């Protein structure tokens, strides 16, 4: 099944029903690993009741950081380290200067 051929609301409802049947979602966290596609971001918004953690997969995150840093290794590693250390404030401040 190619999910993007369906309405996002229908996909989200299907996923929520499946997860509710299979797991005690009051005791679980839903982590959505993605390439950053817009339809997956929309899906995440529709699954808010599960308190979704949305993350980029490693390949696409590195690609995004390389683009953001202009392939400057020093800037790339600073951004990478901010994320790796969970310092979102420093990451946002630094990345906003690059945009």
Please, what is the average pLDDT of the chain? 89
Q: Are residues 63 and 48 in the same domain?
A: no
Expressed as residue numbers, the domain containing 31 is 1-56
What is this structure's pTM? Answer: 0.68
For residues 20-46, give the mean pLDDT.
88
Region class of 31: left (phi > 0), else alpha (psi between -120 and 50), else beta:
beta
Q: Give me the torsion for CA of 72, 75, 79, 81, rounded to 10°.
A: 110
- Claim to verify: residue 44 and residue 76 sit in the same structural domain: no
The per-residue pLDDT for range 38-96, each reduced to its tens digit, is: 888 888 888 888 888 888 899 999 999 999 999 999 999 999 999 999 999 999 999 99
Count: domains in the chain: 2
What was the pLDDT predicted at 4? 57
20 and 30 fall within a common domain? yes
CA distance 8 to 36: 15
One domain, residues 63 and 89: yes
């Amino acid at each position: 099944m190619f999910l993007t051929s369906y309405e996002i609301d229908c996909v989200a409802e299907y996923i929520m029903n499946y997860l509710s049947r299979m797991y005690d979602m009051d005791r679980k966290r839903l982590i959505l690993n993605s390439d950053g596609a817009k339809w997956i971001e929309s899906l995440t918004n529709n699954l808010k009741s599960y308190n979704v953690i949305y993350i980029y997969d490693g390949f696409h995150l590195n690609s995004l950081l390389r683009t953001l840093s202009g392939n400057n290794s020093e800037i790339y590693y600073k951004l990478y380290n901010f994320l790796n250390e969970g310092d979102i404030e420093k990451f946002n401040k630094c990345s906003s200067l690059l945009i």
